[in-house]
Chain A
């Protein structure tokens, strides 16, 4: 048995916000339960109240918004993996989700849960970061938008205040001339990332017009690799430029040693993952090496 708590199942988002505001920090939100229940069982968290959002259909959707895709926070990873809209508009997110966990976990785990759990190894984060996604948060003060780069504040920590709920992820879709890819290193299929990297590039006239790179599991939060990006932007799209830019990843990250890997291993592998993600992103952007 899990530690005791009071269970709440609000019938609407509005009720959920009110409830969470009233209950305060003693309350935890549950969606798929694949992080929270594991933590409760391990004694890492023992909330007095658990608020179940798994029935809120108003935050479970994938909607086409023209040049953007809107994904409800309560959408399961399985729904994302099987969405044609995601496959077309944000293929790098689908690529990351495909490699996450098992079917049995993805049928209940949600994208909102993956982000709010705020693991440095959250695999949905790097793809959303290279897409410059915006997170929509609803709380007692109303609705606000948070760029994904500002959402995570530390391991397990986000900018969400008491009563606030992540409701939607707004993702600008891939454009013509862009290419993106995701790479991750694990001990076996479906396991947690030892390190991961997503890259999105735009190439025009043989040059990197835009380059965005994000990494997971190598810092207290998922992070953008700004030094790598600076070493690419405006430069010719050659393998040499790409290789030397990838080496900048070491200066962008702050990995730790834990059960999954050592700091040194993560440093070396980050360079490799960034390079591989960039190479595949360039190929998908048009495949022309200057």
Chain B
């Protein structure tokens, strides 16, 4: 397939829903999500792959949406924090972030929650070192890492311990 400056149709699954959107080939996944689909939880940070604010999950793994071209998600599954929980039913990770007070300015929170979810999905009981390695790619501007790490481990206990209904 090929597409020029005009437009390109991209079909993918966004938070469990099929989406079809016409975008430009030179749009990044970040551009597509923020500009076209108005998902503003995906932050525009450094746009050089350093800060991790634009983190989304593609097929369950965290990626930098500022470094992925929009047409590259064609046929794949994208999860933003909107697909993780909602205000009525928070995901255990989100609940743990609230309880541990792991939110300061909130700018990195969607990226942290997504990264934590992806981690716990593959490793339900990570030690502190593993948690810190996983969030290495997400910079908290407030440097509030201690509480974030505590929140991820709290979420792990909840999920693994079966405390949640």
Binding site for B on A (CB under 8 A): 1-9, 11, 30, 32-34, 37-38, 41-42, 50, 52, 54, 78, 101-105, 107-108, 189-190
Chain A residues, Cβ within 8 Å of B47: 41
Q: Measured between C-beta atoms, what is the minimum distance from A83 to chain B in Å?
A: 15
Q: For A1, A32, A37, A104, which residue has the most chain B Cβ atoms within 10 angstroms? A: A104
B80 contacts chain A at the CB level, 8 A cutoff: no
Contact B67 A38 (CB under 8 A): yes
Contact A7 B71 (CB under 8 A): yes
Contact A108 B5 (CB under 8 A): no
> Which one of B24, B52, B67, B72 lies within 8 Å of A52 (CB-CB)?
B72
B149 contacts chain A at the CB level, 8 A cutoff: no
Chain B residues, Cβ within 8 Å of A1: 24, 26-27, 31
Name which residue of chain B comes closest to A101, CB basis. B137
Q: For A5, A6, A8, A33, which residue has the most chain B Cβ atoms within 10 angstroms? A: A33
Contact B72 A54 (CB under 8 A): yes
The CA of A2 and the CA of B70, in the complex, are separated in Å by: 11
Chain A residues, Cβ within 8 Å of B64: 34, 104-105, 108
Once A3-B26, A8-B2, A108-B64 are accepted as A-B contacts, the answer to whether A33 and B69 lie under 8 Å apart by CB is yes
Q: Measured between C-beta atoms, what is the minimum distance from B96 to chain A in Å?
A: 20
Once A1-B27, A3-B26, A7-B3 are accepted as A-B contacts, the answer to whether A189 and B136 lie under 8 Å apart by CB is yes
Q: Measured between C-beta atoms, what is the minimum distance from B131 to chain A in Å?
A: 11
The CA of A104 and the CA of B71, in the complex, are separated in Å by: 19
**Per-residue contact bits, chain B 136-157, to A (CB 8 Å; 1 contact, 0 not):** 1110000000000000000000
Task: Using C-beta atoms within 8 Å of the partner chain, give the interface range for chain B.
Answer: 35 or more
Binds A, one of B12-20, B55-63, B81-89, B102-110: B55-63
Chain A residues, Cβ within 8 Å of B27: 1-2
Once A6-B4, A38-B49, A52-B69 are accepted as A-B contacts, the answer to whether A104 and B26 lie under 8 Å apart by CB is no
Contact B5 A33 (CB under 8 A): no
Chain B residues, Cβ within 8 Å of A78: 61
The CA of A3 and the CA of B47, in the complex, are separated in Å by: 14
**Per-residue contact bits, chain B 17-57, to A (CB 8 Å; 1 contact, 0 not):** 00000001111100100000000000000011100100100
Contact A105 B49 (CB under 8 A): yes
Name which residue of chain A comes closest to B31, CB basis. A1
Once A6-B3, A6-B4, A103-B136 are accepted as A-B contacts, the answer to whether A108 and B26 lie under 8 Å apart by CB is no
Q: Measured between C-beta atoms, what is the minimum distance from B67 to chain A in Å?
A: 5
Q: Measured between C-beta atoms, what is the minimum distance from A17 to chain B in Å?
A: 16
Chain B residues, Cβ within 8 Å of A33: 67-69, 72
